[in-house]
Amino acid sequence: HMLKIEISESKNNTNDNKVQRASDEEEITVLTEQIQKLMSEQENFQIVINKLVEEKNESVDVICQLKRERQTLQDELTEIKEHLQQKTYDLQNVKTSLESVREEKLLLSTEMQVLKAADTNATRGNSLFAEVEENRQKIAAQRE
């Protein structure tokens, strides 16, 4: 009788083991599917990460290029400002020289007008003296 009980218990244990094994196999299947899904997601995330890293590297390259271009433009601007400053200085010197030449021209023009006026008066004066001298000589000749 005891043997029957043991066999019955053994059958129950076997049935319990089968049920437990089926439950374990089902859980293993679910876990395997979850692992596969997570691995697929990990691969997708790795692809996204690689793409983002590549984009970041490209952005860093663009930033470096823009910094170089900015520095080049800054250097050109500095050079242009220096050139403009020199041209402004040169122009101011030319303007000062021009004003000086204009003043000298005005002075010379005034002097020339004064000299012309004096020449005209001198000619008139010489003409008058010449006329007086001529008349004196005529009178002197008539007396003789």
Residue 142, in any domain of the structure: no
Residue 122, in any domain of the structure: no
Residue 44, in any domain of the structure: yes
Query: Does the pLDDT value for residue 96 go beyond 60?
Result: yes
- pLDDT tens per residue, range 100-123: 999 999 999 998 988 888 765 555
Residues 83-90, mean pLDDT to the nearest whole number: 98
Q: What is the pLDDT of residue 52?
A: 98
Residue 120, in any domain of the structure: no
Residue 114, in any domain of the structure: no
Query: Does the pLDDT value for residue 126 go beyond 70?
Result: no
Residue 34, in any domain of the structure: yes
Q: What is the pLDDT of residue 111?
A: 87
Q: What is the pLDDT of residue 43?
A: 98
Residue 1, in any domain of the structure: yes
User: HEC string of 111-136?
Assistant: HHHHHHHHHHHHHHHHHHHHHHHHHH
Q: Write out the E strands in 34-127.
A: none
- pLDDT tens per residue, range 10-64: 766 777 667 677 788 899 999 999 999 999 999 999 999 999 999 999 999 999 9
Residue 131, in any domain of the structure: no
- As for how many domains the chain has, the answer is 1
Cα distance between residue 127 and residue 112, in whole Å: 22
| Domain around 41 | 1-104
Q: What is the pLDDT of residue 95?
A: 97
Residues 114-133, mean pLDDT to the nearest whole number: 68
pLDDT band at 134 (very low <50, low <70, confident <90, very high): confident
